[in-house]
Structure formats: C-alpha cells, structure tokens
Structure 1
Amino acid sequence: MFPAGNMPEGSTARRDPFSDRFAYEDSGPVSAFLIILAVPLAFSIVWCLLYHSEPYSGGEPSVHIWTIALGHWSLGFCAGGLGQCSPQALDSLVERAVVNALRDPVGLPDLALRAHGGRVFKTLTTPWADRQSSGTIPLYPPDVVLNEDLRVGSCWLISDTHAQLAIVIPKLLYPTNVTIDHVPREITVDIGQAPRHMRLWGLLEDPTNRDLYYAIVGTGNATSAPPISGRHVYALLADFSYDIHAQSHIQTFQVDPRLVASRIYFGMVILEIIDNWGSTSTCLYRVRIHGDPVEK
C-alpha cells in the first residue's frame, strides 16, 4: 500500500474497498511466482488427504472443499497487492492440480475390487491370524487388499516372507494385467515389508481352457502350481517383481501375451508372494486384476 500520489513506476492504482488508501498491482513477475507457489501447495494438501487422514464415511473426499480453500488463499494474495492475478485462473489451475493428483495412475478397471464383488477364497489362501489386533497394531484380514484404502498400515500383514492369496473374480474374465500397490517408501517405516518376486496363477476349471493351455505351454510345463494347490490345475499367468526403487509405488505387470491372445478365461486367480525386500514379515496393501469380462 502507498499513499495516493506516490505510486511506484510501472504500477496501476485500484481502489481498496476496505480503506481510503490505494493498493497497487505490479505488472512484474509476481503473478508467475504465485502460480508456481500454488501448485506445490495443492499437491501437498492432496498428499496429506490421501495418506494421513482418517477414512471418510460419506464417500469420496470432497475435492471441492479443498479447491475453495485454495481459491481463497489465492484471492488473499491478490487482495494483498502482490501482483496481477485472476482468481478464476488460479482456481482453475488449482482444481486441475487436485483432480490430476487424485486421478488413478493405472487407468484400468479393477475387476477384483471388493466393492464390485471380489472376495478371498480361504481354502487356497495362506492361513492368517483371525484377530482384530496384536497389541496396539490392528490386524487386517486378507480381503483388505481388495479395497482402495492405501493408508499406512492398512495391509494384510503376513508373518513370513512368502504367502499366497486366492481371489474370486465376480465375473469370468480374460486377464491382461495385474497391479501391485504399496505405500511410497518415503512414508513407510519398513520398506523391506514390500513384496518382491511374485507369480500370478489362474485356476483352470474348464476342460477346453486346459486343452488350450496345454497347447500353448506343452503338457510338460503345465504341472507347476502354487504351494497350496488343492489338486487343481493352474496356468502361470505372470512372473514379475515389484521394485521399491521404481518411480511409482503403484506398478502394473502384463500377463503372458500368449495367454492374453488365447482368450482363456478364469474365475479365480492366485497371487503367490515368493519373497520380499528384506524384512521378516510382509505387508500386502492392494492387488488389482485387470482384463476383459467374458460376455455370455
């Protein structure tokens, strides 16, 4: 703020509605500074929203509330006379930043999602402690990995380096990909609990599918199965490794292209965890199964 008649060069006056003095808008690079400052703030708020807040009981987090708050923050700087800026432009920028931050990076439907009917098949899954908590640490059942919750500690805690999880898909599907979610290493206490080498198996129930699989891999290679097999016949869909050093903590892996092309369908898949990244226990946060539903 400057008294009337003492305007700095290169500035234009506007009437301050809250006083008899004038506020001035600098036409310099301050506007660019505000925009640069707004975007990191938006992402910081989204980061806290996703990883450090309690779950919402009323559905998805209210992005609109955060957008309004950030819009008011932008307007405060404009009203303070720090530079020329359009509140509408800044609101739009912040809203786009929030939407992009909340957008799922995988971009594929999760056909094993619990909310869509996916469930764990206990008989072919590693036994787990049927308790609600161990001291102050909550213990979640395996089906927690079929939820969208990715808060720290919201995982299936396995007291070993290897295990397997059988997932019943609500609709038969032609599998194409599998995604493993883990919390970012920056916010986890023990990144060694992340699973490392894994295999995805498909349970072959239909005789026609078995014949197709044998024709692809040969009968000599079709005898392998996960540790808990229940005398069923399985197809090895994918053999992959989760990388804690990768840029993203959400990683997608492709099913064997030969099986994708064969259009062999499955109603149950088994994720086998072979080892982890060095801890004595393993924490599995989320498993997603992608593919094309069988239309009958």
Structure 2
Amino acid sequence: ERSFFFSFQPENHPGNCWPFPGSQGHVFIKLSVPVIPRAVTMDHVSGATFRRESISRAPKDFAVYVSDFSRGMKEEHEEQGTFLGQFTFLAALNPTQTFQLKEELSGFVNYLRLQVLSNWGHPDYTCLYRFRVHGDPPKDRGKVSV
C-alpha cells in the first residue's frame, strides 16, 4: 500500500482531486491546529463542471473517526479510532454539504480519519476534492475551519 501526502485545496476544479482506486478508501487528516471537532464539510466539483459523469466519482457514504494515527497506528486492521458519525453525501443535490458530528468530544484532536465507504457508481475510482473540519480550537484562537 502506498503512502501519500495530499493537501486539500480550496479550488475544486475538475481533476484537482485526490483519486483513489475503487469505491472505498481512507485518508488520515492532520489538522493545522488542534480542535474539538463539531462538523465536517465535503465538497465536490461545482457549477457548470458538475455533470453526471463527475457525480459517479463522488464519495457517497463516509464515516469520520478521531484517528489514533498520532499514537502510531501501524496496521490496517487496528482499531479505527473513536467514531464521530456516518453520513451520506448527496452529490447530485449540492456539491458542498456540511454534516454535524454525532459524537461530542471533550478533548482536542490533531488527526481525523475519513473513511469513504462507497461512491456514486464509478467502478474504477473515487475523487476527493475538499474535506473541511469545523470545530472549537484552544480558547486563545477562536472558532476555526481547517
């Protein structure tokens, strides 16, 4: 399995994504500042570029976990971390959607795991364009989206 570092960028132009093979995959996300996560936003290609062929490559069902990556998660089969919620991204409805996390955390986290469980039908790959985490940072920073 390959290691890959990718920075999600604010531009979601066609092709400016992280493609992974098949309809399932995961990515560990290192936050720029530690937060108590409250919500996440998934973005896909928007505007005139948002066509049926693009929708099939969008994530459909996904789950979010507090990752144990920072403590040295080494194996794929190890526990995925603390479950924060499972959601369905309705790509044809709106290319930008925000989901409130179901689990309230009391502590700050540095890493999340985004687990894509399915896409909208593309047999070969799935494209992640942008994924944002919204939460409460340490008191000296104010609310942030990272």
Give the TM-score taking structure 1 as reference length. 0.41
Name the structure where strand makes up a greater proportion of residues.
Answer: 2
Correspondence 1:155-194 to 2 at 5 A: 155-184=17-46, 186-187=48-49, 188=51, 189-194=53-58
Change (3 A) 1:191 1:245: closer
Q: Is the contact between residue 185 and residue 191 of structure 1 (CA under 8 Å) also seen in structure 2?
A: no
Paired residue for 1:293?
137
Paired residue for 1:200?
64
Correspondence 1:1-40 to 2 at 5 A: none
RMSD: 2.6
Whole-Å Cα distance in 1 between the matches of residues 91 and 82 of structure 2? Answer: 27
Whose Rg is larger? 1
Whole-Å Cα distance in 2 between the matches of residues 159 and 185 of structure 1? Answer: 25
Q: Does 1:244 align with 2:91?
A: yes
Paired residue for 2:117?
274
Paired residue for 1:235?
82
Deviation at 1:185, TM superposition (A): 7.3
| Residues 193-241 of structure 1: CA deviation (Å, up to 9, x unaligned) | 0000000000259xxxxxxxxxxxxxxxxxxxxx935x45611112101
Which consecutive residues of structure 1, in runs of 5 or more, have no partner in the other structure?
1-125, 129-140, 206-226
Whole-Å Cα distance in 2 between the matches of residues 185 and 194 of structure 1? Answer: 15
Q: Is the contact between residue 59 and residue 127 of structure 2 (CA under 8 Å) also seen in structure 1?
A: yes
Deviation at 1:295, TM superposition (A): 3.7
Q: Does 1:148 align with 2:23?
A: no
| Residues 75-131 of structure 1: CA deviation (Å, up to 9, x unaligned) | xxxxxxxxxxxxxxxxxxxxxxxxxxxxxxxxxxxxxxxxxxxxxxxxxxx736xxx
Whole-Å Cα distance in 1 between the matches of residues 118 and 10 of structure 2? Answer: 24
Whole-Å Cα distance in 2 between the matches of residues 171 and 154 of structure 1? Answer: 24
Structure 1 stretches of at least 4 aligned residues deviating more than 3 Å after TM superposition: none
Deviation at 1:192, TM superposition (A): 0.3
Name the structure where helix makes up a greater proportion of residues.
Answer: 1
Whole-Å Cα distance in 2 between the matches of residues 284 and 148 of structure 1? Answer: 12
Q: Is the contact between residue 204 and residue 266 of structure 1 (CA under 8 Å) also seen in structure 2?
A: no
Paired residue for 1:48?
none
Change (3 A) 1:233 1:158: closer
Whole-Å Cα distance in 2 between the matches of residues 228 and 267 of structure 1? Answer: 20
Deviation at 1:294, TM superposition (A): 2.4
What SS is found at the alignment partner of 2:6? Answer: helix
Give the TM-score taking structure 2 as reference length. 0.78
| Residues 115-171 of structure 1: CA deviation (Å, up to 9, x unaligned) | xxxxxxxxxxx736xxxxxxxxxxxx6514x21121111001112111000011132
Which consecutive residues of structure 2, in runs of 5 or more, have no partner in the other structure?
70-74, 141-146
Whole-Å Cα distance in 1 between the matches of residues 118 and 2 of structure 2? Answer: 17
Whole-Å Cα distance in 1 between the matches of residues 16 and 95 of structure 2? Answer: 15
Deviation at 1:264, TM superposition (A): 2.9
Whole-Å Cα distance in 2 between the matches of residues 283 and 233 of structure 1? Answer: 22
Q: Is the contact between residue 65 and residue 80 of structure 2 (CA under 8 Å) also seen in structure 1?
A: no
Correspondence 1:87-98 to 2 at 5 A: none
Q: Is the contact between residue 203 and residue 232 of structure 1 (CA under 8 Å) also seen in structure 2?
A: no
| 1:158 aligned partner, one-letter code | F
Q: Provide the aligned length of Structure 1 versus Structure 2.
A: 133
State which of 127, 135, 140 in structure 1 corresponds to 2:2.
Answer: 127
